[in-house]
Amino acid sequence: MPGAAAIDGELVGEALSCRRGGRLVFAGLDFRLTAGGAPLLTRVFYSDSGSEAVEIALKMAYQYWRHRGQRRALYVALSESYHGDTIGAVSVGGIPLFHGTFRDLLFQVEFATCPARAKDAGAAAAGLEAVLARRRGEVAALILEPLVQAAGGILVAPPGFLARARRLCDQYDTLLIADEVATGFGRTGRMFACEHEAVVPDLLCMAKGLTGGYLPLAATLVREAIYEAFLGEVEEVKTFFHGHSYTCNPLACAAVLASLEIFERERVLDHLPQKIEHVRECLRKFAGRAHAGAVRQCGLMVGIELVRDRATGEPYPQAQAMGASVCRRARLLGLITRPLGDVVVFMPPLASSEADLEAMLAILYRALLLETEGGEPA
Ligand SMILES: Cc1ncc(COP(=O)(O)O)c(C=O)c1O
């Protein structure tokens, strides 16, 4: 637990005085995030959770256009996306089970089809373009989870979709918000998923992996041009009014610095390709099983979709809760994981060794066979 070791008594003392190694904790963190983390996104706004990082991005996008003399209250999002549980984040969420209840409370959003459901990047981008073209001049921002729609069921977008979405935002003059709350900090094999397609969003939301998961801290990074739109004389009141009591908690900031140091010192990113490949190898046998409808992987994000009939894709009856049964069984066998409906999620810690990964997947395989086929692996 190296991250936990960093949150020791000494660090608490340093953090509460807001200084570490003689420099201000947040200033040090600002620098680490903008210079080393997500180049070209030069400004940071801190918050406490992924949902809040998204709220901030949505509000900033809206206010940015206001400062440019335009009222744009419409957002574009992808169906089956998840961006958090606060009302703005729910508005741009596309999972009926989670978001449907609150429909009356939500603001205006147009949804383009989830790219993972399209036949390729071209088809997915065409659907998105149709929406952006129809609502040209009205859209404050497109928000998406780059590469992988995580809570939607580890839905992996076809390669090239993200870069096309970036180009479409430029073409139709709107902002791109990349929600990297789930995909950021190495999860997909690069520090940020956007790097896979050389995409620089206008706003980027990060949380979870920012502190290695140990303390609540989130951030919304923006391009300089967005920051500049908020500058002005006091009487112009261009201020971005958003601040919660615990914003930029210095102890959490210190945990981020410690986690980023571990990324560097232990060359976490350099070791990922081999681990990702190893997981890919271990997953091969899952794909052959009668009830594994699809095995999806992007980096160290895996979703195994369980179906009653693989040939027809017929799902299990909802009441059977097969995903939950497999996860419960895995827990009894020593592995904690979670289902998203009938998709069993495997998101191991980045620090896992190849032996750890193999052992975890062996448990999952056994749990899957016991629950779906009623037998032990041969
Ligand atoms: C892509 C994405 N955005 C936002 C969130 C919300 O983050 P939080 O639970 O920290 O509010 C999540 C959480 O799972 C997420 O996966």
**What is the reported pLDDT for 249?**
85
The mean predicted confidence, pLDDT, of the chain is 92
Q: Determine the atom of ligand 1 nearest the C-alpha atom of 207.
A: 10
Q: What are the structure tokens assigned to 333, written together?
A: 């066998």
Residue pLDDT, tens place only, 297-310:
999 999 999 999 99
For 374, half-sphere exposure in the C-beta direction (CA atoms, 13 angstrom radius) is 0
DSSP state of 365: H
Alpha-carbon gap, residue 341 to 271, rounded angstroms: 31
Residue pLDDT, tens place only, 216-227:
999 999 999 999
In DSSP terms, 273 is beta-bridged to: none
Report CA(310)–ligand 1 centroid distance (Å).
31
Alpha-carbon gap, residue 164 to 361, rounded angstroms: 34
What is the number of residues in the chain? 378
Alpha-carbon gap, residue 44 to 197, rounded angstroms: 23
Alpha-carbon gap, residue 201 to 194, rounded angstroms: 8
For residues 251-261, give the mean pLDDT: 88
Residue pLDDT, tens place only, 70-85:
999 999 999 999 999 9
Residue that the structure tokens 């032996």 belong to: 355
Residue pLDDT, tens place only, 364-378:
999 999 999 998 877
**What is the reported pLDDT for 248?**
83
Question: Is pLDDT above 60 for 93?
Answer: yes
With the most atoms of ligand 1 within 8 angstroms of its CB, the residue from 82, 217, 347 to mutate is: 82
**What is the reported pLDDT for 77?**
98
147: left (phi > 0), else alpha (psi -120 to 50), else beta? left
Q: What are the structure tokens assigned to 202, written together?
A: 């206008």
The dihedrals phi and psi of 170, each to the nearest 5 degrees, come to -65, -45
Alpha-carbon gap, residue 265 to 7, rounded angstroms: 17
Give the 3-state secondary structure of residue 171. helix
Report CA(53)–ligand 1 centroid distance (Å).
9
Q: Which of 276, 287, 301, 320 is nearest to 116 (CA)?
A: 301
Q: Which of 182, 175, 129 is nearest to 156 (CA)?
A: 182
Count Cβ atoms within 10 A of the Cβ of residue 119 and give its class: 0-12 exposed, 13-18 middle, 19 or more buried.
exposed
Alpha-carbon gap, residue 258 to 307, rounded angstroms: 42
Q: Which band of pLDDT confidence, cut at 50, 70 and 90, is reported for residue 247?
A: confident
The dihedrals phi and psi of 231, each to the nearest 5 degrees, come to -85, 150
* Ligand 1 proximity of 56 Cβ (cutoff 6 Å): no
Question: Is pLDDT above 80 for 273?
Answer: yes
Contact 168, 136 (CB under 8 A): no
Domains present along the chain, CATH in parentheses: 2-265 (3.40.640.10), 268-372 (3.90.1150.10)
Question: Is pLDDT above 70 for 20?
Answer: no
* Ligand 1 proximity of 151 Cβ (cutoff 6 Å): yes
* Ligand 1 proximity of 146 Cβ (cutoff 6 Å): no
pTM, rounded to two decimals: 0.94
86: left (phi > 0), else alpha (psi -120 to 50), else beta? beta
For residues 35-64, give the mean pLDDT: 88
* Ligand 1 proximity of 301 Cβ (cutoff 6 Å): no
The DSSP result for 305-318, as a single string, is EE-SBTTTTBPPPG
Q: Which band of pLDDT confidence, cut at 50, 70 and 90, is reported for residue 1?
A: very low
Alpha-carbon gap, residue 92 to 246, rounded angstroms: 25
Residue pLDDT, tens place only, 301-357:
999 999 999 999 999 999 999 999 999 999 999 999 999 999 999 999 999 999 999
* Ligand 1 proximity of 154 Cβ (cutoff 6 Å): no
Alpha-carbon gap, residue 149 to 345, rounded angstroms: 12
For residues 137-147, give the mean pLDDT: 98
Beta strands in 180-318, from DSSP E residues, in sequence order: 203-206, 218-222, 292-298, 301-306
Q: Which band of pLDDT confidence, cut at 50, 70 and 90, is reported for residue 37?
A: low
